[in-house]
Structure 1
Amino acid sequence: MNEVTIAIAGGGSTYTPGIVGALIENVDRLKMKELRLYDCDFERQEKMGHLIRAILKQKYPHPIEVIVTDDPEKAFTGVDFVFSQIRVGGLKMREKDEKIPLKYGCVGQETCGPGGFAYGLRSIRGFLPLVEQIIRFAPEAWILNYSNPESIIAEAVRRAYPTAKIINVCDMTISIEETICANFGYQHEDFIPEYYGLNHFGWYRSIYSKREKRDILPDILDKMGAGLEVADFNAGDASWAATYKMLGRIVTDFPGYLPNTYLEYYLYPDLVVAEADPTHTRANEVMEGRETKVYALAEQAKANQDSAGLEINFGSHGQYIVDIATSLLNDENRRFMLITPNRGAIPNVRQDAVVEVPSYVSAKGIEPVCLDAIPDFHKGLIEAQCAAEKLLVDAYFEGSYLKALQAYTLNQSVPSANVAKKMLDDFIEVNREYWPELT
């Protein structure tokens, strides 16, 4: 087996241990000779470096070098894969993304609604230079991108670097499917799902069971009147518990399809806002929870370099991205839900949309599955959201305040142009360090 060099862009993220855990679990399919952590926040990344070295020393069966750097040339030269999970502005800016909309009675969420658009403009400005650096120092490397908001990033990369070797990945569909399995006793490897939409904005039309040789989605929907209970990997998380409970309401009101959990923000924004605490949002929960826990482990690893007794349990976040890398590397031609230019995959949605659909991954890259036409209700929602996202990307490249205002006004969680303008102006003020100038 050929050994590979992997770089993790955004190496200081608290999700990095999950990716490394998946790499350890799959060493028979993807053997590393070197791991590089790259982050512009070197202090944060240095702490993570102690934890990652301890994990690998304790768990990885082969000697491996770990390089921690904020130098893109050192990080990317000669790598085979770059796993990207950058968060421009960090959790402090996520907190603003969530709290500013709530001030105006709108959904406060990191990837959806007006906060997601604020995050999107920051992400484009941070992600495009990253792509340029990877192409310069590792032109043959595959970029596997977890960075959000995925649809907006994918649209910007499509325009700026149309030939980039990039696969945009979201594990939300896997999380939904595994939660269904945990609730109702199915086996995930038995599923062949058909899903379509934009990232965080789509629906399952069928889930074919290889064992039963039929579509079992109607059975699943029949069982979902009360929603889903969170699986072990979200145990104790009140936010996710409420989200999975809400699925029961959506499939009751709009039967026949299983939506992505994030559609609650667009279909029921009033209910979401009514339940939100404008002084304590999901960003605060993450800072107080996962962020504190993981960096406490990093301090433990720094103090105890032999790593003995280090408690390591980071869930399955990294498994999906590692599975895609192994399918590329070993020509496995496995099926995943990926974010890709439409080009007819959803025939009655605009061809230049960036959609999330089933796709096969082999040594040559990704091949999306061509689906049948979708219902008008879903098409209408998708087209409006897609147009709003494209206007936002226009605003970035053109430096256009008007295009940004149009994007915010068209966003389906925003009630009026008046509210859109107030939020946009607030976001401009707090994002001066991160956004392009809009005139």
Structure 2
Amino acid sequence: MKKGLKIATIGGGSSYTPELIEGFIKYYPELPVSEIWLVDVEEGKEKLEIVGNLAKRMVQKAGVPIKIYLTLDRKEALKSADFVTTQFRVGLLEARKKDESIPLKHGVLGQETNGPGGLFKAFRTIPVILDICRDIKELCPNAWLINFTNPAGMVTEAVLRYSNIRRVVGLCNVPIGMEMGVANLLGVDHHRVRIDFAGLNHMVYGLDVFIDGVSVKDQVISLINDPKNSITMQNIHAMGWEPEFLKALDVFPCPYHNYYYKSGDMLEKELKNYKDGGTRAEVVKKLENELFELYKDPDLAIKPPQLEKRGGAYYSDAAVRLIHSMYTDKRDIQAVNTINRGAISSLPYDSAVEISCVITKDGPKPISVGELPIQIRGLVQQIKSFERVAIEAAISGNYGMALLAMTINPLVPSDRLAKVILDEMLEAHKDYLPQFQKRREIEWKI
């Protein structure tokens, strides 16, 4: 008889892994994990060993009977797993640097999960996640796939549409970060805060905000007008909002809305950073080097506080809380990426959405919100259109679909510029985009 839960983490050499390990330690024994398998690719072997050894010291210090395994063999890790978590980056940080710098060179926002950067991250990631899904189907068909890999919404939708896996939940730390931000802003315990979330990954809104069941949305919207009170993330510069705009919007925007409602300001800021010291990828690379130097310390047996600068704050709270609620059938409310099933009537029934859900042993049950408010509906629908076309291009390698996806993204100003950026990025990432190379070879033969 099997004792305890087996967790397989794809991308186990990530700097985020100590966050995850801390979460499993925190929730033990309510979540009786007996094995955590950290998996990575050959290029990530050194980091896997460093972070894996830290993970072993963390569980030893905590005195919990969790065994940590390190491997480059994904199939071995997946055998009989109960939960599979994914947190990988195809092409590593060098690919992210290209995602950000190439669009910026042409005067277009190059954020890693939005615009051209997010598009190419999807192109590289979706074929890999579908390959992982084939292994899950064979080796642990009853496992739940908890995806934290960005762009989480597109990855979740690709799995739902193009794999045989239905037990999948996409996860992002933005909603829990917004909850924590409201709690800090109002000086209350996080557990007293509830936000009714609806939208898409990195395009999610708080339709209402509650403390102990009483709406405080107007108060929160009024407070976040001030840049000092902005609820944001380490990787997104807080600028504040025009008070009249935010009042008229009448919903609580997420940090990533800065890229859409303040595109010019964000572009100006990103271009300045690019010229002065490089892209966010270069900042993250420096942070990661510092983190892994810390991780090497044989006396370190906790998650170092410096990890919060990485941008993954509350990752363990979000990921392990979700797994715990599913395992215990807790039926609490959390915002995740899952199949819509009519909960947001403004979006297709079978699309992936980010929405508040009741979390059960059978997966997330979306809480119906009906039509999105008219003032946000069009932008959300445009991004969903972009996501659907992008996923089709990622799987087919169709150049025309890739150009269409790039052009309909609201951060790209024209089809001409979209084509220039697309061609340059296809060349820059060609080693990770065989589907486009194969497609071109077929077209050339024809």
Contact 1:300 1:310 in 2 (8 A): no
Indicate yes or no: 2:47 matched with 1:44: yes
Q: Which residue of 2 aligns with 1:304?
A: none
Q: Which residue of 1 aligns with 2:192?
A: 190
* Match runs of 1:375-390 below 5 Å: 375-390=373-388
* Match runs of 1:109-258 below 5 Å: 109-210=111-212, 213-229=213-229, 237=234, 239-240=235-236, 242-243=237-238, 245-247=239-241, 252=246, 254-258=248-252
Please give the per-residue CA displacement for 1:374-395, whole angstroms capped at 9, x wherever unaligned: 1223111111111111111111
Q: Which residue of 2 aligns with 1:348?
A: 346
Q: Which residue of 2 aligns with 1:14?
A: 15
Once the 2 structures are TM-superposed, how far is the Cα of residue 168 of structure 1 from its aligned partner?
A: 0.8
Contact 1:5 1:79 in 2 (8 A): yes
Cα distance in structure 1, aligned partners of 2:215 and 2:7:
38
Once the 2 structures are TM-superposed, how far is the Cα of residue 126 of structure 1 from its aligned partner?
A: 1.7
Cα distance in structure 2, aligned partners of 1:248 and 1:332:
40
Contact 1:336 1:359 in 2 (8 A): yes
Indicate yes or no: 2:260 matched with 1:269: no
Indicate yes or no: 2:294 matched with 1:297: yes
Whichever residue aligns with residue 25 of structure 2, its letter is I
Q: Which residue of 1 aligns with 2:107?
A: 105
Once the 2 structures are TM-superposed, how far is the Cα of residue 274 of structure 1 from its aligned partner?
A: 0.7
Once the 2 structures are TM-superposed, how far is the Cα of residue 253 of structure 1 from its aligned partner?
A: 6.9
Cα distance in structure 2, aligned partners of 1:84 and 1:194:
26
Aligned counterpart for 1:374 among listed residues 348, 372, 375: 372
SS at match of 1:300: coil
Whichever residue aligns with residue 382 of structure 2, its letter is A
Whichever residue aligns with residue 424 of structure 2, its letter is D
Q: Which moved more, 1:125-134 or 1:155-164?
A: 155-164
TM-score, normalised by the number of residues in structure 1: 0.91
Q: Which residue of 1 aligns with 2:274?
A: 278
SS at match of 2:383: helix
Once the 2 structures are TM-superposed, how far is the Cα of residue 262 of structure 1 from its aligned partner?
A: 0.4
Contact 2:171 2:337 in 1 (8 A): yes
Contact 1:227 1:249 in 2 (8 A): no
Aligned counterpart for 1:90 among listed residues 71, 89, 92: 92
Once the 2 structures are TM-superposed, how far is the Cα of residue 162 of structure 1 from its aligned partner?
A: 4.8
Q: Which residue of 2 aligns with 1:406?
A: 404
Cα distance in structure 1, aligned partners of 2:337 and 2:426:
28
Cα distance in structure 2, aligned partners of 1:396 and 1:255:
34
Contact 1:183 1:228 in 2 (8 A): no
Once the 2 structures are TM-superposed, how far is the Cα of residue 396 of structure 1 from its aligned partner?
A: 2.0
Show structure 2 runs of 5+ residues with no match.
309-313, 441-446
Change (3 A) 1:192 1:229: closer
Cα distance in structure 1, aligned partners of 2:130 and 2:387:
17
Change (3 A) 1:68 1:250: farther
Please give the per-residue CA displacement for 1:292-346, whole angstroms capped at 9, x wherever unaligned: 2321123223xxxxx3677733553211110111111111111110111222111
Whichever residue aligns with residue 92 of structure 2, its letter is G
- CA-based RMSD of the aligned residues comes to 2.1
Cα distance in structure 2, aligned partners of 1:84 and 1:247:
34
Once the 2 structures are TM-superposed, how far is the Cα of residue 250 of structure 1 from its aligned partner?
A: 8.8
Q: Which residue of 2 aligns with 1:53?
A: 56
Change (3 A) 1:5 1:104: same
Whichever residue aligns with residue 65 of structure 2, its letter is P
Once the 2 structures are TM-superposed, how far is the Cα of residue 206 of structure 1 from its aligned partner?
A: 0.5
User: Runs (4+) of structure 1 moved beyond 3 Å?
Assistant: 227-231, 245-255, 307-316
Q: Which residue of 2 aligns with 1:64?
A: 66
Aligned counterpart for 2:318 among listed residues 320, 337, 345: 320
Contact 1:405 1:421 in 2 (8 A): yes
Q: Which moved more, 1:82-91 or 1:341-350?
A: 341-350
Contact 1:405 1:424 in 2 (8 A): yes
Change (3 A) 1:19 1:154: same
Cα distance in structure 2, aligned partners of 1:198 and 1:361:
18
Whichever residue aligns with residue 296 of structure 2, its letter is E
Please give the per-residue CA displacement for 1:214-234, whole angstroms capped at 9, x wherever unaligned: 211111112222135478x96
Q: Which moved more, 1:41-50 or 1:135-144?
A: 41-50
Q: How many pairs are equivalent?
A: 424
Change (3 A) 1:250 1:271: farther
Cα distance in structure 2, aligned partners of 1:83 and 1:309:
22
Contact 1:125 1:434 in 2 (8 A): no
Change (3 A) 1:142 1:250: farther
SS at match of 1:195: strand
SS at match of 1:278: helix
Please give the per-residue CA displacement for 1:42-87, whole angstroms capped at 9, x wherever unaligned: 232122212211222222x233322111112211111111111111
Show structure 1 runs of 5+ residues with no match.
302-306
Please give the per-residue CA displacement for 1:242-295, whole angstroms capped at 9, x wherever unaligned: 23x335669537441111110111222211111122241111111112x02321
Contact 1:6 1:35 in 2 (8 A): yes
Indicate yes or no: 2:393 matched with 1:395: yes
Please give the per-residue CA displacement for 1:391-434, whole angstroms capped at 9, x wherever unaligned: 11111222210000000000000000011001100110011111
SS at match of 1:351: coil
SS at match of 2:297: helix
SS at match of 2:161: helix
Cα distance in structure 2, aligned partners of 1:182 and 1:267:
25
Cα distance in structure 2, aligned partners of 1:432 and 1:346:
37
Cα distance in structure 1, aligned partners of 2:430 and 2:139:
30
Change (3 A) 1:137 1:201: same
SS at match of 2:84: strand
